[in-house]
Structure 1
Amino acid sequence: MEWTLEQQALATIKSPMVSQGVPLQTMIDRLAQDSRLRREFAAIYDRSIDIDGVVDAIAYYERSLVTPGSRFDLWLAGNNSAMNEQALRGYKRFKQLGCVSCHQGQNVGGNLLQKHGIFRPLATPEPRILRVPSLRNVATTAPYFHDGSARTLDQAVKKMAASQLNVDLKPQEVVDLVAFLNTLTGNYAGQKVRAPE
């Protein structure tokens, strides 16, 4: 089942793992205590803060996070020089290993829920089921995993292969896979996405 951004935002807000059991109305009441937020919400939605507006605002924000123009996008569009041989080897291995079965689609993930730690522990065991993250801009988003336990992309790639695929990657495979993942960094507002300083 593919969800809309609105459905995903509402499910996330309702999730006890995210909301820590706080009822939706309590969350809305807490947001409404912020006078600036109340004014801005009313200016945009012409009403008081409500769950439909909050869900719409989250989805609107998420739609603004498009980062086109990655080297991978350019390569897909026919620019054969956009990816070097190492990145191409990494992409080939990414597909051979089966990473694409979860990290698929336009965002190279982000549209499935999956168990983690299938073959070996990945990170902290809870929550057991997580949204498969998009790999867009992954080279700029360290640390990795839901608990931040992988400090580098190399560590994340090795742990992911072991945990989800029961594969111990060779050092060169890790280097190649990371080279491919680096090609997924796009542009935002006309500038290359960079890691926060």
Structure 2
Amino acid sequence: MTKHFAFTILPLLYFVGLSQSYTHASTHEIALSFFEPLPAVMQGAEQDSAVLIELGKKLYFETALSINHSQSCNSCHNLNNGAAGVDHLPVSIGALASIGDRNAPTTWNAGLHVAQFWDGRVKTLTQQAKLPIFNAKEMAMTSESQVIERLYNQGYLAAFKRAFSKQLLPINIENIAHALAAFQRTLISKDRFDDYLTGDKGAINQSEKEGLRVFIEKGCVACHNGALLGGQLFMKMGIVHPYPNKKDKGKAQVTGNPADNYFFKVPSLRNILNTAPYFHDGAASTIEQAIEDTAWHQLGIKLNTQEVKAIKAFFNTLNNQKVAFPEQR
């Protein structure tokens, strides 16, 4: 057994064994050993002023940040009318009609993840915010000076001066990224599962509790645990049975290390029923397919129809009840 393989498989064995040891514990007790509620505030948000957040919100919807004024951040990470922060495409289509490489993850709770992007190429929301603007397959802007000129022409100078009052030249890519990150730090979802974890045992119904037990007992909690039910580690896609997509090598494309082949950040399951399609390549069009494929490729088991249905029932408790803009209701 190689060291890298051992690092991958041992956590799975630990969690599967642990989950099977709770035969006589209550479902609520078991849940508290694997999960925790989402925090009320993201780290770093204590420094975000109201004017900075408002600027970031405006920039999130600003099409002038794309080469042909056709796209904004919201184009691939839609938040309008209670949307889930995704575009529901297998992979996104850029401003110049270029097909993207990976499925667009939701911006809800993104700042709580261990890193950004499927391959974890950057750590923070601020670092992440810069990259799509200049990515040829996304917003396709060609230079920082072009971005600055666009925002000046769109009348942003006053808003940047309010947000960055001590700077003589406040419109720059660093400040754009800081503002976008500040707005995204407000995107913390709210759901019934957190109500359950914090003591309201009636917040989820009996079938959802049964689904939670199946989710734990089958070993899904090996990767999908903590506050996000994911988002905190990288795992090989196809641990037990190889995943069909061999073109995208995941984290290895960042590190250059073959040991990282097919490693991707484990997605969060918060609001999962509303973020189809699934996986880094968007290959699973339905949640049922995603549950079945994950069990097979990651755990080496075949779930029956009733088990898939039960897990999906549990996922209902993770539906986001918050909207980014309550005034739209």
Please, which of 18, 35, 48 is the counterpart of residue 171 of structure 2?
A: 48
In the TM superposition, what are the counterparts of 1:91-170 in structure 2 within 5 Å? 91-122=212-243, 124-125=245-246, 126=248, 127=250, 128-170=262-304
Go from structure 1 to structure 2 and tell me whether the alpha carbon gap of 1:190 and 1:31 turns closer, same or farther (over 3 Å shift): closer
Q: Pick the structure with greater CA Rg.
A: 2
Q: Output the CA distance in 2 between the equivalents of 1:14 and 1:123.
A: 32
Q: In the alignment, which residue of structure 2 is the partner of 1:74?
A: 195
Structure 1 residue 7, shift from structure 2 partner: 3.1
Q: In the alignment, which residue of structure 1 is the partner of 2:123?
A: 7
Please, which of 136, 161, 181 is the counterpart of residue 315 of structure 2?
A: 181
Q: Is the 8 A contact 1:154 1:178 kept in 2?
A: yes
Q: Deviations over 1:95-129 (max 9, x none)?
A: 22222222121121122222212222446331222
Go from structure 1 to structure 2 and tell me whether the alpha carbon gap of 1:86 and 1:13 turns closer, same or farther (over 3 Å shift): same
Structure 2: which amino acid aligns with 1:114?
Answer: M
Matched, 1:60 2:194: no
Query: Aligned with 1:130: secondary structure?
Result: strand
Q: Output the CA distance in 2 between the equivalents of 1:64 and 1:169.
A: 37
Q: Output the CA distance in 1 between the equivalents of 2:296 and 2:148.
A: 45
Q: Output the CA distance in 2 between the equivalents of 1:110 and 1:85.
A: 27
Structure 2: which amino acid aligns with 1:131?
Answer: K
Query: Aligned with 1:187: secondary structure?
Result: coil
Alignment size in residue pairs = 185
Q: In the alignment, which residue of structure 2 is the partner of 1:34?
A: 150
Q: Is the 8 A contact 1:123 1:147 kept in 2?
A: no
Q: TM-score, normalised by structure 2?
A: 0.48
Gap regions ≥5 residues in structure 2? 1-112, 117-121, 137-141, 251-261
Gap regions ≥5 residues in structure 1? 21-25, 193-197
Structure 1: which amino acid aligns with 2:301?
Answer: V
Moved more, 73-82 or 163-172: 73-82
Q: Is the 8 A contact 2:271 2:318 kept in 1?
A: yes
Q: Output the CA distance in 2 between the equivalents of 1:184 and 1:163.
A: 23
Q: Output the CA distance in 2 between the equivalents of 1:14 and 1:33.
A: 16
Q: In the alignment, which residue of structure 2 is the partner of 1:23?
A: none
